[in-house]
Amino acid sequence: MSYKVSIADRAARGDDHVSRTTLIERHCWHFIRRECNIRRMPNDLYDRDILMWSEQQADLLRRLERGERVNGVDWTHVVEEIEDVGLSELHSVQSYLNLMLVHLLKIWLSPDSEALRHWRGEIVAFQKNAGRRFAPSMRQRIDLGKLYDEAIEQLEAGGLRPEGSRHWPTVCPFTLDQLLCDKWVSLEDCLNAAAPAPRGTAGPTSIKPGTTGAV
C-alpha cells in the first residue's frame, strides 16, 4: 500500500534535511506565485495605453476602498497623476487670467477697434472658465505681477505697445478677486484709472483704426 508521507511525519521521523528542503521549496513557490500575481499588470501599460491603465487602476482602488485585498496598484503613477490634476487646474486658471489681462490691455490700447466686442466677449469667457476651476488653495500660488508682466511681453512681441506719452501701468492694476468676479466694465475702468489716456485723445496705439487685431 503506497501513500505519501507528510512533511510532519517525515520531520518527526528525523528526516530534517528533507523537511527543511521541502519547506524551503514551498516558501519559494509561494513567493514566486505572489510576485507573479502582483505584477500581472504589464509594467509599461501606463505608457502604452493610459486609458486602459486608468480604468484598471480605478477598479483596483474601488476594490481596495471596499476592503478587498488587491495587488497591482501602480502607486507611483497614481500619486503622480493625483498631483498632476491639481497642477493642471492651477495652470489652467493662470492661463485664463493671462488671457484676460492680454485682452484688457488690448482694449486699453485700442478702445476704438472694431474688435472691441470680440475682446470683451473673450474676457467674459476667460473669466467664467477661470472661476469654475479656481480653488482657494490656488490663491497663494498665483503671481498676478508675473502674469501681468507676461501679458505685456506677449503684446510687445506682437508689436503692440503704447505710443506717445502713454505707458503701461507699472504694476498690475487688478486684484485676483477683481479678475475673478468683476464685470468687464469695472475691469476696464480700473485699468483706465491706473493709466488714463492723455486729455483730448482716444489713446494712440500700434493697432491701426479699422482693423480687428482679434486673436
Other CB atoms closer than 10 Å to residue 134's CB: what's the count?
Answer: 20
With beta carbons less than 8 A apart as the criterion, state whether 98 and 90 touch: no
Q: How far apart are the first and last CA of the chain?
A: 93
pLDDT tens digits, 48-58: 998 999 999 99
Q: Who wins on pLDDT, 200 or 61?
A: 61
The verdict on 22 and 106 lying in the same domain is: no
Distance (Å, whole) CA 170 – CA 26: 76
If asked whether residues 58 and 119 sit together in one domain, one would say: no
Q: Are residues 19 and 33 in the same domain?
A: yes
Q: Note whether 91 and 130 are same-domain residues.
A: yes
The predicted model scores a pTM of 0.67
Are 170 and 184 part of one and the same domain? yes
The mean of the pLDDT values for the chain is 80
| Cβ atoms within 10 Å of 115's Cβ, excluding its own | 18
Q: Are residues 47 and 34 in the same domain?
A: no
The pLDDT tens digits for 15-51 are 554 444 444 445 444 443 444 344 445 568 989 998 9
Q: Do 92 and 187 have their domain in common?
A: yes
The closest of 188, 73, 165, 24 to 119, measured between CA atoms, is 188
- How sure is the predictor about 210, in pLDDT bands with cuts at 50, 70 and 90? very low
